Amino acid sequence: MNILNDIVNYAIKNKLIEKKDSIFVLNRLAYLLKVENPYSINTKYERAKNKNDIDSVLNTLINLAYDNKVIESTDIVLTDILDTEIMAILTPMPSVVQNNFDTLSKKSIQNATDYFYDLSIKSNYVRMNRIKKNIEWKAKTKAGHLIITINLSKPEKDPKAIALQKNIKETGYPTCMLCKENEGFYGTYKHPARGNLRTIDLKLGGEKWLLQYSPYIYYKEHSIIFSQSHRPMKIDTKTFSNLLEFLEKFNHYFIGSNTDIPIVGGSILTHDHYQAGRFVFPLDKASVLKTFNYNKKLSINIINWPLNILRLISKDKNEIINMSEKILKYWKKYNNKSLNIFSKTDNTPHNAITPIARRKGDYFEMDLVLRNNITTSENPLGVFHPHSDKHHIKKENIGLIEVMGLAILPARLLDEIDLVKKYLLNDNIEEAKKNKLCSKHIPWMLKMKSKYKIDEDNLDSIIKNEIGLIFYDVLKDCGVFKENNDFIFFTSEMIEKINRKA
Ligand SMILES: [Zn+2]
């Protein structure tokens, strides 16, 4: 037994391949790693202690590959490409995965997603060892317990790799990170390796869509549902009906979409996609501020949340689709000068909706989150975007996942929080001011100093709690109606006008 057998055994044990495949994959791996005889490998390579820890098993192979001049350095880009290529040899072909998924889903859709999620992890497409590095806690706020995460799962590229990346030409293939042509892609300095990516075919609204898990899962079974064609994000009636159609089959998942305009949504606007998964978000547990019983079949709830959310509830999905369409139309034209809500400037639209759908027994629910992306000289990044006093914690866009109460905070915070703690404990604000990483946190530190009697035992929980409160305020910044009464008034007026038209 040697280090090559270890990866083959890992694949058998985790049901990626069968015993019958052993010699075949051993020979394929030998070719990839420039090994003459896969049965006799230099014994200087220490075998992984935990044979089911994919990183340790792959690491020994990376060392072998480097010695055999398969890779010229062990920078993260090259090793990611190589270990993906190793796993690509061991991951079943897309058609096999699709067939297994289809067979299992005849019994129960949950069995099918369990299989596919497990495969995406075992094939190392979802790099669980990196995701486990993320830091997570819950913080009590006026909106209940919000979930705060610091995202440490994306490894930093070394400067050499970044320099190399600059010199490499853009090929334009695959067109984007969400195009279906990523399945099996070999990887370059510009575009990540996707040899172990597998996708599942779906049909939504009579069109071809695909499902895959996110390689950076932020919550359990974080999935991406993307259109087969590379076309821009668009929220319209079809979106609402697609989301509910998805839930008819995947009744154990929620599904939502970012808006179709910049600033108030996700990072990819060029490829139509949704996000789904099997997770209960803080938003799911939020209380109701007011209920409007629109008719016998449909009710509209105003949710008690820092952003403005209308929750449509009905057993009849068409009731929800029709009302969602009317609300979207109404919101897109809505202006309120005194609240700085402008639906358009010149010909650029600013009003948009983040839709989120889920099942509750026989009922469908559709949350419509009202968003606006206007910018001014005072708030150049966005009026309904995290304001500058909170940029020391969060400056990035507030997308679908964060709207639901799960904060994704940048990795830089880890080091910065350590410094904040150090200077607070030493009571040395003057030194903190001189520290580049820490100076932006000074107003926050002074506030904490006056608010709490800080000591070594309580500091950690104070900081965690405080970050939760700041995240709550960040969400509040993104809300268009800051006062509940304004939102309630808007909703009653809207319902009245929709009724008059009907
Ligand atoms: Zn694309």
For residue 107, report the distance from its CA to the centre of ligand 1, in Å: 33
For position 11, what pLDDT does the model report?
98
Where a domain ends, among 101, 123, 145? 101
For residue 419, report the distance from its CA to the centre of ligand 1, in Å: 41
Where a domain ends, among 84, 101, 118? 101
Asked if 50 and 136 sit in the same domain, the reply is no
| Closest to 480 measured CA to CA, from 376, 331, 366 | 331
Amino acid at site 423: Y
Quickly list H helices, 454-483.
Answer: 459-478
For residue 226, report the distance from its CA to the centre of ligand 1, in Å: 9
For residue 81, report the distance from its CA to the centre of ligand 1, in Å: 21
Q: What string of DSSP letters covers 133-145?
A: T-EEEEEEETTEE
Does residue 247 sit within a domain? yes
Percent of the chain with pLDDT over 90: 94
Asked if 73 and 151 sit in the same domain, the reply is no
| Closest to 328 measured CA to CA, from 494, 451, 136 | 494
For residue 466, report the distance from its CA to the centre of ligand 1, in Å: 39
For residue 336, report the distance from its CA to the centre of ligand 1, in Å: 36
| Closest to 77 measured CA to CA, from 185, 170, 174, 164 | 164
Give me the mean pLDDT over the 3-23 stretch: 98
Residue 317: φ, ψ to 5°: -65, -25
Which residues span the domain enclosing 376?
131-407+482-501
Give me the mean pLDDT over the 192-221 stretch: 97
**Whether the predicted pLDDT of 164 surpasses 80:** no
As given in the structure block, the two tokens for residue 233 are 């994000």
For residue 157, report the distance from its CA to the centre of ligand 1, in Å: 24
Does residue 311 sit within a domain? yes
For residue 133, report the distance from its CA to the centre of ligand 1, in Å: 29
Strands (E), 49-180: 135-141, 144-150
For residue 178, report the distance from its CA to the centre of ligand 1, in Å: 5
Angle at 198 (CA atoms; ends 192, 200), nearest 5 degrees: 135
* C-alpha span between 100 and 277 (Å, rounded): 20
> 3-class SS at 337?
helix
Asked if 204 and 282 sit in the same domain, the reply is yes
β-pair partners for 352: 371
Q: Read off the pLDDT band of 357 (50, 70, 90).
A: very high
Q: Are 353 and 235 in contact (CB under 8 A)?
A: yes
For residue 260, report the distance from its CA to the centre of ligand 1, in Å: 15
* C-alpha span between 223 and 133 (Å, rounded): 20
| Total number of domains in the chain | 2
For residue 469, report the distance from its CA to the centre of ligand 1, in Å: 37
For residue 270, report the distance from its CA to the centre of ligand 1, in Å: 7
For residue 218, report the distance from its CA to the centre of ligand 1, in Å: 21
User: What pTM, to 2 d.p., does this model score?
Assistant: 0.96
Tens digits of per-residue pLDDT, 256-292? 999 999 999 888 999 999 999 999 999 999 999 999 9
For residue 175, report the distance from its CA to the centre of ligand 1, in Å: 5
Higher-pLDDT residue of 298 and 166 is 298
For residue 272, report the distance from its CA to the centre of ligand 1, in Å: 8
Q: Are 196 and 125 in contact (CB under 8 A)?
A: yes
For position 265, what pLDDT does the model report?
87
Asked if 146 and 191 sit in the same domain, the reply is yes
For residue 410, report the distance from its CA to the centre of ligand 1, in Å: 25
Asked if 271 and 320 sit in the same domain, the reply is yes
For position 345, what pLDDT does the model report?
95
CA 99 to the chain's CA centroid: 27
Query: What CATH number is associated with residue 158?
Result: 3.30.428
Which residue shows structure tokens 């109460």? Answer: 405
For residue 176, report the distance from its CA to the centre of ligand 1, in Å: 4
For residue 271, report the distance from its CA to the centre of ligand 1, in Å: 5
For residue 180, report the distance from its CA to the centre of ligand 1, in Å: 7
For position 266, what pLDDT does the model report?
86
Amino acid at site 143: A
For residue 266, report the distance from its CA to the centre of ligand 1, in Å: 14
For residue 179, report the distance from its CA to the centre of ligand 1, in Å: 4
Does residue 8 sit within a domain? yes
For residue 255, report the distance from its CA to the centre of ligand 1, in Å: 20
Where a domain ends, among 80, 101, 122? 101
For residue 432, report the distance from its CA to the centre of ligand 1, in Å: 45
In angstroms, the Cα distances linking 23 to 17, 152, 196 are 11, 38, 20
* C-alpha span between 365 and 208 (Å, rounded): 24
Angle at 16 (CA atoms; ends 15, 19), nearest 5 degrees: 70
Q: What's the burial of 133, exposed, middle or buried (CB within 10 Å: 0-12/13-18/19+)?
A: middle
Asked if 55 and 188 sit in the same domain, the reply is no
* C-alpha span between 235 and 366 (Å, rounded): 14
Asked if 288 and 390 sit in the same domain, the reply is yes
Sequence-distant (6+) residues with CB within 8 A of 147 are 136, 137, 138, 281, 282, 405, 406, 407
Asked if 230 and 289 sit in the same domain, the reply is yes
For residue 354, report the distance from its CA to the centre of ligand 1, in Å: 21
In angstroms, the Cα distances linking 481 to 341, 358, 370, 402 are 9, 25, 9, 18
Tens digits of per-residue pLDDT, 463-498? 999 999 999 999 999 999 999 999 999 999 999 999
For residue 351, report the distance from its CA to the centre of ligand 1, in Å: 25
**Whether the predicted pLDDT of 90 surpasses 90:** yes
Which residue shows structure tokens 């506030």? Answer: 447
| Closest to 469 measured CA to CA, from 381, 394, 370, 399 | 394
Does residue 463 sit within a domain? no
As given in the structure block, the two tokens for residue 305 are 């949340």
For residue 131, report the distance from its CA to the centre of ligand 1, in Å: 25
For residue 165, report the distance from its CA to the centre of ligand 1, in Å: 21
* C-alpha span between 271 and 28 (Å, rounded): 35
In angstroms, the Cα distances linking 288 to 306, 308, 486 are 12, 12, 16
Mean per-residue pLDDT over the chain, rounded: 96
> 3-class SS at 59?
helix
Quickly list H helices, 221-267.
Answer: 237-249
For residue 229, report the distance from its CA to the centre of ligand 1, in Å: 7
| Closest to 424 measured CA to CA, from 409, 446, 402, 451 | 446
Tens digits of per-residue pLDDT, 14-39? 999 999 999 999 999 999 999 999 99
Does residue 467 sit within a domain? no
As given in the structure block, the two tokens for residue 470 are 């700041």
Does residue 358 sit within a domain? yes
Tens digits of per-residue pLDDT, 255-264? 999 999 999 9
Does residue 403 sit within a domain? yes
Number of helical (H) and strand (E) elements in the chain, helices listed first: 16, 15
Asked if 41 and 140 sit in the same domain, the reply is no
Does residue 152 sit within a domain? yes
Q: Read off the pLDDT band of 4 (50, 70, 90).
A: very high
Asked if 214 and 96 sit in the same domain, the reply is no
Asked if 164 and 79 sit in the same domain, the reply is no
For residue 231, report the distance from its CA to the centre of ligand 1, in Å: 7
Which bin fits 206, alpha (ψ -120 to 50), beta or left (φ > 0)?
left
Asked if 75 and 138 sit in the same domain, the reply is no
